[in-house]
Amino acid sequence: MLSLVIDGFEFCRQKENRAGRFAVSDLPRLAEETADRSGDIGWNAEGSVLASGHPRIKLSVSGAIGLICQRCLTSYEFRLDSGSTIVLARSEEGVDELESFLDDDSIDVIAGDTPINLAELIEDEILLALPVSPKHEQCPSTQALDKLKNAGKRSPFAVLKDLKREK
């Protein structure tokens, strides 16, 4: 697993910005979800401070990932373009309190009292952006699905006909 550790509070206070690319194969949890381990994901992390004084990291990811279509069971390219806003609480105990104070479901609050691994945050963002049931908009071929549907399937009337012959 890649490690890109930052001090979240300092990153936000200094209004730092980091960007880069990760290969899908370098992100183990993501690699398990893909059709193959090829491809890469671009990312950007930007630190700032909210008007309320709370540190904020804006995270964005984009790229293409090979997934298996759940309809036709073939590989397809899923275009990823996602972002999130993460606000840092001073401690684990302060997360719920800060979430209540912000009262915004589009903002994620995490504890920033320990060093933050940006690579893990990026992988989390990618995993959350993946579809629950990936599918082509229009499947190119349904041969694999048709094979599964017809494998070992007999008409119930053919079974009755065979029973009648046995008597």
φ, ψ of residue 26 to 5 degrees: the values are: -85, -5
- Determine what percent of the chain falls in helix, strand and coil, rounding each to the nearest 5: 35, 35, 35
φ, ψ of residue 109 to 5 degrees: the values are: -115, 130
Instruction: Give kind and range of the element (H or E) at residue 79.
Output: strand 75-89
Report H helices in 59-166: 94-102, 118-129, 143-150, 156-166
Asked if residues 115 and 36 have their Cβ atoms less than 8 Å apart, the reply is no
Q: What is the dihedral of CA 28, 30, 62, 49, to 10 degrees?
A: -70
pLDDT digits (tens, 9 = 90+) for 68-115: 998 888 888 999 999 999 999 988 888 888 888 888 888 888 888 889
Closest residue by Cα to residue 83 from 61, 63, 104: 61
pLDDT digits (tens, 9 = 90+) for 122-162: 999 999 999 999 988 888 866 655 666 666 666 777 767 76
Please report the pLDDT score of residue 63 as a whole number.
95
Residue 49 bridge partners (DSSP): 55
Report H helices in 44-117: 94-102
Please report the pLDDT score of residue 147 as a whole number.
65
Residue 51 has pLDDT above 60, yes or no: yes
Please report the pLDDT score of residue 43 as a whole number.
97
Specify the pTM.
0.76
Average of pLDDT values for 52-57? 92
Q: How confident is the model at residue 24 (pLDDT cuts 50, 70, 90)?
A: very high
**How far is the C-alpha of 29 from the C-alpha of 27, rounded, in Å?**
6
Residue 2 has pLDDT above 80, yes or no: no
